[in-house]
Structure 1
């Protein structure tokens, strides 16, 4: 294998996660049942699980495993996307979801409509 084909763990690109991503300790009990921070939850029927290398894995292959994960929920509240984190990723706090508030109209803008 040529030198250009060798990838080092440190050189791997940081994974990006969607804005509404949450983090928890997940125990894969018996699919579709999991524990999120000790609370029972269900995985969505079409859940997608990615391992520490970002490879998609069959959910059954992680039965019995516990890991720190990032996850997303679907519209019904079920976990639909799971990223198993490496220890390095788990050590980095999730960025808070920005709130998008519209600025209040200025007094000048409101006064111009009063005429």
Structure 2
């Protein structure tokens, strides 16, 4: 019986953690995106974005990407849309993170 209670408790904790607030879920995606951007990880970028401009974005040197400021300024537009700033040597742009089919993804520049 204790095994069943323990299993149920672990399952419940896992489900509740996965449900986090929209802010938490968006911030997790932003952090993962920024890490993948700095590491020039095209495979991770493809999974985190709906935008080919980000998964293939390679105009910066590795050094510039590593120093990029990313995700430090996050603005909530709604529970399903957030904007953050991607900034590196002379370039700064607002980037959208939106809920797509129940999952937050980077959807492109907010121009």
Common fold by TM > 0.5: no
Larger-gyration structure (1/2) = 1
Query: TM-score by structure 1 length?
Result: 0.25
Query: TM-score by structure 2 length?
Result: 0.26
